[in-house]
Structure 1
Amino acid sequence: MITASRHGAVALVEIDRQDRRNALDTEHCHALTAALDGAVDDGARAVVLTGAGTAFCAGADLDGVHSPEFLTALYDTLRTVTELGVPVLAAVNGPAIGAGTQLALAADLRVVGPTARFGLPTAQLGLAVDPWTLRRLALVAGGGAARRVVLACEQVTAEQVPALADRLGDLEVAMAWAAQVAVLAPMTLAYSKRVLNQVLEPDLALGAHAVEHEAAFRACFASADFAEGRAARTEKRAPVFRGR
């Protein structure tokens, strides 16, 4: 489930599926989006997003990741995080893999604990992440680290890639920082967040290669390799990808 609680001007939104390492499925993406919107509607001036237990978010629930409904729900959630009218701090308390890394990247600030690690193992599964995710990863972590994560499928820590952590610490550190942010001028924060997003990450749909990138992204999900990745997981074997 997704839980939300208020702590003064700060809303704490928590993914609580500990039996699935807080992996997301379509239902929980919808619930997370609703919780984030609801926190702002309720007057929160900063939001802390975290995972219950020892994981931040272990990624997509692979039982449903192959459905178009899940992709739509996930990207709606990521868009909500980036466009929310208040700062969002991710308290990355443990593994943030796949969709977990995407959520952490979507946040405005990241407070990272000692057991946290980040990864996008799409090439191990025959999946893909959208161009926005790749761009955001490169902007936050740097181009070299982005290539390690997506081309070599490495999992990295904040110690290895310091740029992934705006601060080191646990949920208590994140909540304290959010409380400091929450007393700042909300209109100024909303304006600054919006402009930073527009200046640093202009709409990819306006880019010269946007159509090509989108087509390549969709082609990954229509490929034989995508089907092979799904079959290999079901059959509990290593996939054999053939590039088609």
Structure 2
Amino acid sequence: MIVRTDHGRVAVLTLDRPQKRNALNAELCNMLRDSVRGAVADGARALVLTGSGTSFCSGADLDDVYTADFRDAHYAMLHAVVDAPVPVVAAVNGPAIGAGTQLAIAADLRVVAPTALFGVPTAKIGLAVDPWTIRRLSVLAGNGTARALLLGCAQLDADAALACGLAERAGSGADAITWATEIAELAPLTLAYSKRVLNDIVEPVSDAAELDAAFAACWGSEDRAEGRRARQEKRRPEFRGR
């Protein structure tokens, strides 16, 4: 139910459960978690997440959502995306509701098609999202928009998502892959370090000494020297992540 296609250094992971509009159950969450980790282990420099058909992810499968197994699998999957040491781009090709919005905001960047739609209607079904989701949504979309989504069960279309900062670009899945391909050519150590610090704004977890070491590693890396050489030689740098 997860289809992986590789485009050079970019791995595209597609939710493929069209009969349920890509709704998440525990099995699919576990598969996506393993696919993210597997793609990184195989050397992917960037990931693209998307959905098959006309939906990105219609939310949690209501046949599964009330179980402890789903909750554990769901949050393990979200944090696998957040903690991936490479940039993750969500190609939101259609509705991303509830757990779909959570998956989209777990990614680092979002590219939205005209049919994209975001919403977190947990108040309509007596459920709740974790504090991390609320904080991240507030940081990305603004506190007012987060309140509208969570307290008013409002929905955001593509234009509204772009206007408030929840999405960074308008475009198709192909556009997301193109952007991810460009990102995959950048310095991996710098990207991983920047991602960690940006994530810490939402929920500080990194050890200060580890971050200092990661920062110093960027400045002392072979990639930094390669960047300087490439500039002097007027060519594109070839970063190796060391």
* TM-fit CA distance, 1:187: 1.0
1:31-72 Cα offsets, whole Å, 9 max, x none, are 000000000011100000000010000000000000011000
* TM-fit CA distance, 1:191: 1.0
* TM-fit CA distance, 1:197: 1.1
Tell me, what secondary structure is at the counterpart of 2:50? strand
Equivalent residue for 1:116?
A: 116
1:184 matches 2:186: yes
Tell me, what secondary structure is at the counterpart of 2:155? coil
Equivalent residue for 2:200?
A: 198
Trace 1:87-236 onto structure 2 (pairs within 5 A).
87-161=87-161, 162=163, 163-203=165-205
Q: Is 2:132–2:202's contact at 8 Å kept on the other side of the alignment?
A: no
Which consecutive aligned stretches of 4+ in structure 1 deviate over 4 angstroms post-superposition? none
Tell me, what secondary structure is at the counterpart of 1:43? coil
Q: In the alignment, residue 31 of structure 1 is paired with which amino acid?
A: M
1:100-125 Cα offsets, whole Å, 9 max, x none, are 00000000000011000000110000
Q: In the alignment, residue 201 of structure 1 is paired with which amino acid?
A: E
Q: In the alignment, residue 154 of structure 2 is paired with which amino acid?
A: E
Equivalent residue for 1:59?
A: 59
- Looking at structure 2, the residues matched to 51 and 60 of structure 1 have their Cα atoms a distance apart, in angstroms, of 14
1:153-208 Cα offsets, whole Å, 9 max, x none, are 111113123212100001011000000000001111111111211244324xxxxx
**Paired-residue identity, %:** 58
Gaps of 5+ in 2: 206-242
The alignment yields a C-alpha RMSD, in angstroms, of 0.9
- Looking at structure 1, the residues matched to 87 and 93 of structure 2 have their Cα atoms a distance apart, in angstroms, of 19
Q: Is 1:91–1:110's contact at 8 Å kept on the other side of the alignment?
A: yes
Equivalent residue for 2:86?
A: 86
Normalising by structure 2, report the TM-score: 0.82
Q: Is 1:11–1:46's contact at 8 Å kept on the other side of the alignment?
A: yes
Tell me, what secondary structure is at the counterpart of 1:28? helix
Tell me, what secondary structure is at the counterpart of 1:160? helix
Tell me, what secondary structure is at the counterpart of 1:48? strand
Q: Is 2:4–2:11's contact at 8 Å kept on the other side of the alignment?
A: yes
Q: Is 1:158–1:164's contact at 8 Å kept on the other side of the alignment?
A: no
Equivalent residue for 1:217?
A: none
- Looking at structure 1, the residues matched to 24 and 53 of structure 2 have their Cα atoms a distance apart, in angstroms, of 15
Normalising by structure 1, report the TM-score: 0.82
Equivalent residue for 2:230?
A: none
Equivalent residue for 1:26?
A: 26
Tell me, what secondary structure is at the counterpart of 1:13? strand
